[in-house]
Amino acid sequence: MHSTYTSTSSESALYTARVLRRSIFWAFALFLVAVVTVFADAPLVPAGSVPAPATGGAAAGAAGGLTGQAGGGWTSMMFPLAMIAVLYFLMIRPQAKKAKEHKEMLGTMKAGDEVITNSGFIGRISGMNEKVVTLELADKVSVKMLKSQVAYIKKGELKDLEVR
């Protein structure tokens, strides 16, 4: 007998949660880089105040102590903000769109539909309520599972997948 490993529904949910946490982490990290970049460009001495005299040596050099001009301000934030936008459009938005489509698909599901679950079961829905689906896998073989674990609704296409 040949056995193959298929991921369980809990592994799929954990993977989705892990991807979302990773996306949020990197978005926050890029935000911190942007904030540090802006504050790093701020002048060390507030405008209008007189800097403390340097105590001589190399510190007092030709630059005139601690005075300096502020960097670009909003222009220095353009790169980190662009990175956050790329992160949003490449990771977060597609995941949210996929979740929305899955929720809509679950709303259209009804008894008699042929489905494939996240764990790889193929069968016909024999009954369902708000959260649980009873899936008929074969004659007199039924399984109850969470409605959210239905991956696809295949109408009339499961005859091609039957084992002869």
Q: How far is CA 91 from the centre of its chain?
A: 5
Q: What is the pLDDT of residues 144-164, one digit of tens each?
A: 999 999 998 987 666 655 655
Provide the pLDDT for residue 87. 85
Q: For the segment 42-97, what is each residue's pLDDT rounded down to a tens digit?
A: 555 556 666 556 555 554 444 444 444 555 667 777 888 888 888 888 888 888 99
Name the nearest CA neighbour of 158 among 129, 119, 115, 127: 115
Give the residue extent of every domain in the chain: 9-105, 114-161
Cα dihedral sign for 2, 8, 11, 17? Answer: positive
Considering the chain, what percentage of its residues have pLDDT values greater than 70?
64
Which residue carries 């903000």 as its tokens?
A: 81
Q: Where are the alpha helices (DSSP H) in 6-161?
A: 9-40, 78-87, 93-108
* Helical spans, DSSP H, in 90-136: 93-108
Q: What is the rounded CA–CA span in Å between residue 36 and residue 149? A: 43
Report the percent of the chain where pLDDT is more than 90.
Answer: 25
Rounded to whole angstroms, the Cα distance separating 50 from 54 reads: 12
The answer to whether residue 109 scores a pLDDT higher than 80 is: yes
Q: What is the pTM of this model?
A: 0.51
